[in-house]
Amino acid sequence: MKYSDLADKTVAELNAQLKEKKTELFTLKIKQKMMQLQNTSELRIAKKDIAKINTALSAVAN
């Protein structure tokens, strides 16, 4: 996911995407704790996506 993809979305779309990514991060953390996560870089990617969405939200708010 690139920031340029998020720049033209509405606040409602960004909030929906943020909720989806937070749910994905939660499930990835659970899988990691249960030793079922094969690719641990998915955690880092999900965290970065959440940060990008939060940045886009703050840019839209201003």
Look at the pTM and tell me if it is higher than 0.85.
yes
pLDDT of residue 7 exceeding 80? yes
Tokens of 27: 């499930």
Neighbours of 46 (CB within 10 A): 20
Per residue in 14-39, pLDDT (tens digit) is: 999 999 999 999 999 999 999 999 99
Domains detected in the chain = 3-61 (1.10.287)
Which ranges of the chain does DSSP label H, i.e. alpha helix?
3-6, 11-33, 41-61
- Residue 15 CA to residue 54 CA, distance in Å, equals 9
